[in-house]
A and B are shown apart, each in its own frame.
Chain A
Amino acid sequence: MTVLIGPAGSREMAFASIESGADEVYVGLLHWSLRSPCFEMGINQLRQVNDYAMSRGVAMRVALNTYPWEDDLLEFDREIARLRDIGISSFILADIGSIYSMHKDYPDVFIQASVAADVRNMDDVRAFEVAGADSVTLLRPAPGFVRKVKQETGMKVEVFAYGYLNYTYRARCYISSYLRHAYTSGPSSREQASGSFNREGFCNRACKCHWTITDGHPEVEGVTMNSYPFVTIADLIELLRAGIDGLKIQGRENSIDVVTEAIRLYRQILDGYRQDPAGFTIPEVTAESAYRIDRIRHREMKSRSAVMIREMLGVTPDASNRVQRNR
């Protein structure tokens, strides 16, 4: 059975995801989940969401999918211990060293290799399985790839309902920190490294800037490093038949309206498929809704990117200094 996994960029979004039909929700732990702190949660909020989710029979998983640095390891271990203390047993990690370490310390927990783990082929899947991951997140995989993972490994597979194929591979991009990188003391004991996507998720979105290709004289102006939005809807039936275990709705940074609409739509699809796997087709009107939701989401992301670029250029204050409202 394919579960529907909804985002929880805030407590309100978590509740809305659950009410809209998500089987699971994912939450980013404050400072550890590749998002701005205002889309993450501290332990107290996280506990409230977990309690609510449990009362509704919904599972929760927590993302700590930054690439921790050496100085972070002690704090990383403490955070994991705290999360275990409040009953969290499902995690999203990207760094294979962290996965390996967590699996050794807590062999019973469920570990999802994040999309930021950049799993691109069967060898990657096997490497993460050996390290202790239970599941991988694949970005727009071919159904054959999913089938092969299911047949040849013990790994679960999750895919995104929609998202972006960025110009650069997710965790293999240091352009942002090359251009602007600063350490700031945040409210946590952990020093924040704004600009480093892998460490903080504070990507400056340099790929969305208007670059000029030049050989000394401008040759082409207004060049952006294009990312390609995708909606899985056209391939979804094949992916379901291939045996995907989870369908993930992106959107911790999006508005609650967009997220809830997306969850309701994909809930309908998964329920329809479950009733008649052989005969189910996605109605055209449903596909159109999926594309419309993605367009709205795309607009929201563009305006967020504009904010990040202004911050990089020093036009507006750095996001890393914002009040941590979710603590």
Chain B
Amino acid sequence: MRSIMQQDFRLATEVATIKRLKDLDFTVFNRVYLGNPFCLDFRENLLAVDNLSEAIRLVNDAGACPIVSLVAMPANDQLPLIDELIEVGLAAGTGGFEAHSVGVLHRLSERKDVYGLTIVAGGFSNIYTRRTAILYAEKGATLLVPNYELPWEAIESITAANPGPLEILIHGKIPLGLSDSCLLVERSDDLGTKCPDSCLSDLWLEFHKWSLKSFGKLTSSGKDLCLLPEMPFFWAKSIRNFRIAGVAEKPETLNEVGQVYRDVLESLQKSTAVPAYIPEQVRMASRYGLCNGYLYGRSGCDWVEQHLQAT
């Protein structure tokens, strides 16, 4: 097994169930976000607590860092679950927690027993500026995920304020919206599938030239974000934390796509050349094709052959 301890980058993904976790290739990923924080109804969600300890142990045993992804935007009646997840996570030896809301981050900041762990301010925590990034860092966040809408210039301005390391979503379906309800559940009679099976079906939303994925209470992009061509740029800019969106993906897809990114990151670490093309398996993994997201200041679903230049 390849040593992942000596690498100075973190390639992360998200896994929602113990079954999927067992099929994840830990030689590819060295940080794993555990649970589907967007929809507690997701089948066998690790946030249902039963399997969370085992999941943390599995990731730790594999030499990777487990992060418990806490319920993204909890209502009042879900706050006790947040506490329970923190307790279970701490007892099982989690490497950290992810919070998407200011309230959950605030709750974490009031607990001394999480000091020293990785506290991630997630992509829905709306970090648009250095001011919010610094505030979250003061509240104890040690890893910051800038808002998905930001172009590179805005991300770079945040890094200039040095609020702490940033983690960039580099591949997969971009999380675009959180809801209290699920379109597929609302239409379950028409579809003939019921929760929690609906979102595991191969169902998509299409309108005009656009596509979206309704995945429980999360709506994400139909296309897959692909920033593979920008990895040398990120590396040159000292970005070392990367995430491949995984909540809606099967482990085999994550392993295959993740391996491509890992190979590039290892080449960059060794200062060897990286391929300038996007491998076929990355293109083939996406039903609706690839997009650049917001990095170039365009619509998130656009795809252009463009590269940022490190100066």
Contact with A along B170-183 (1 / 0, CB 8 A): 00001011111101
B207 touches A100 (CB 8 A): no
* Interface contact A169-B179, CB-CB below 8 Å: yes
Interface residues of B in 159-218 (CB under 8 A from A): 174, 176-181, 183-184, 186-187, 190-191, 201-208, 210, 212, 214
Contact A177 B79 (CB under 8 A): no
Binds A, one of B9-17, B56-64, B124-132: B124-132
CB-CB under 8 A from B201, the residues of chain A are 215
Complex Cα gap A95–B136 (Å):
12
Would A177 and B294 be within 8 Å (CB), given that A127-B105, A213-B183, A214-B204 are in contact?
Answer: yes
Say whether A131 faces chain B, with CB atoms less than 8 Å apart.
yes
- Tell me how far the C-beta of B108 lies from the nearest C-beta in chain A, rounded to whole angstroms: 10
Would A96 and B206 count as touching, CB distance under 8 A? no
Q: Is A126 an interface residue (CB 8 A)?
A: yes
CA distance A87 to B75 in the complex (A): 37
Contact B203 A209 (CB under 8 A): no
Determine the residue in chain A with the shortest Cβ distance to B74. A121
Residue on A nearest B72 in the bound complex, by CB: A172
Indicate whether A130 reaches chain B with its CB closer than 8 angstroms.
yes
Would you call B129 and A213 a contact (CB within 8 A)? no
* Shortest distance between the CB of A106 and any CB in chain B (Å): 15
Q: In the bound complex, what is the Cα–Cα distance between A206 and B82 (angstroms)?
A: 32
Kindly identify which residue among B74, B186, B219 contacts A226, using a CB–CB cutoff of 8 Å: B186
B102 within 8 Å of A (CB atoms)? yes
Q: Are A175 and B203 in contact (CB under 8 A)?
A: no
Residue from A123, A124, A145, A210 with most neighbouring chain B CB atoms (10 Å): A123
Which partner residue on chain B sits nearest A195 by CB separation? B299
A123-B103 in contact (CB<8A): yes
Interface residues of B in 93-109 (CB under 8 A from A): 101-107
Given contacts A121-B79, A226-B186, whether A210 and B74 have CB atoms under 8 Å apart is: no
Q: How far is the CB of A197 from chain B (nearest CB, A)?
A: 9
The answer to whether B207 and A219 touch across the interface, beta carbons within 8 angstroms, is no
In the complex, which of the residues A69, A100, A173, A180 contacts B176, with contact meaning CB atoms closer than 8 Å? Answer: A173
Binds A, one of B148-156, B229-237, B238-246, B271-279: B148-156
Q: Report if A123-B107 is in contact (Cβ < 8 Å); known contacts: A181-B298, A198-B149.
A: yes
Give A110-149 as 1s and 0s: 1 = Cβ < 8 Å from B's Cβ atoms: 0000000011111111111011000000000000010010
> Is the CB–CB distance between A220 and B135 below 8 Å?
no
Task: Please indicate the chain B residues that have their CB under 8 angstroms from the CB of A179 in the complex.
Answer: 210, 299-301
Is A280 part of the binding interface, using a Cβ–Cβ cutoff of 8 Å? no
Known contacts A122-B103, A127-B102, A178-B176; A67/B206 CB under 8 A: no
Judge whether A225 is part of the interface by a CB distance below 8 angstroms: yes
Asked if A118 meets B176 with Cβ closer than 8 Å, knowing A96-B135, A126-B106, A167-B181, the reply is no
**Contact A178–B135 (Cβ < 8 Å):** no
Report the separation of the CA atoms of residues A223 and B225 in the bound assembly, to the nearest whole angstrom. 25
Candidates B127, B128, B205; contact of A213 at CB < 8 Å: B205
Kindly state the separation between the CA atoms of A195 and B132 in the bound complex, as whole angstroms: 22
Q: How large is the interface on B (under 10, 10 to 19, 20 to 34, 35 or more residues)?
A: 35 or more
A286 within 8 Å of B by Cβ? Answer: no
**What does the 1/0 interface line of A40-70 toward B look like (CB < 8 Å)?**
0000000000000000000000000001111
Q: B177 to nearest A CB, angstroms?
A: 4
- With A69-B150, A196-B149, A225-B183 as contacts: A130 and B106 at CB distance below 8 Å: yes
Residues on B with beta carbons closer than 8 Å to the beta carbon of A210? 207
- Contact of A213 with B219 in the complex, beta carbons under 8 Å: no
Residues of B within 8 A of A96 (CB): 102, 126, 132, 135
B76 is contacted by which of A67, A100, A145, A196 (Cβ under 8 Å)?
A: A145
Chain B residues in 8 Å Cβ range of A215 = 201-204
- Whether B106 and A212, one on each chain, are in contact in the complex, defined by CB atoms closer than 8 angstroms, is no
Asked if A296 CB lies within 8 Å of chain B CBs, one says no
Which of these, B78, B132, B299, B301, contacts A95 with CB under 8 Å? B132
C-alpha gap A223/B204 in the complex (Å): 12
Q: How far is the CA of A119 from the CA of B179 in the complex (A)?
A: 14
Q: A196-B149, A214-B203, A225-B183 are in contact. Are A95 and B129 (CB under 8 A)?
A: yes
CB distance from A300 to the nearest CB of B (A): 24
Nearest-neighbour CB distance to chain B for A190, whole angstroms, equals 13
Residues of B within 8 A of A167 (CB): 177, 179, 181, 183
* Interface membership of B267, Cβ < 8 A: no
Say whether A198 contacts B126, CB under 8 Å: yes
Report A-chain residues with C-beta under 8 Å of the C-beta of B183. Answer: 167, 213, 223, 225
Contact A198 B128 (CB under 8 A): yes
> Does the CB pair A67–B126 fall under 8 Å?
yes
Question: Given the complex of chains A and B, what is the CA–CA distance between A308 and B26 in angstroms?
Answer: 46
A199 CB-CB contact with B under 8 Å: yes
Beyond known contacts A122-B76, A223-B187: 17 more, CB 8 A cutoff: A68-B128, A70-B153, A95-B131, A96-B132, A97-B127, A101-B131, A120-B101, A121-B103, A167-B177, A177-B149, A178-B212, A178-B300, A198-B126, A209-B208, A213-B183, A213-B184, A214-B205
| 27 A-B pairs (CB sep. < 8 Å) | A69-B129, A70-B130, A73-B130, A96-B135, A97-B135, A120-B73, A120-B74, A120-B75, A120-B76, A120-B101, A125-B103, A130-B106, A145-B76, A148-B76, A169-B73, A174-B148, A175-B177, A177-B300, A178-B174, A178-B176, A178-B212, A182-B298, A195-B299, A198-B147, A213-B190, A215-B201, A219-B191
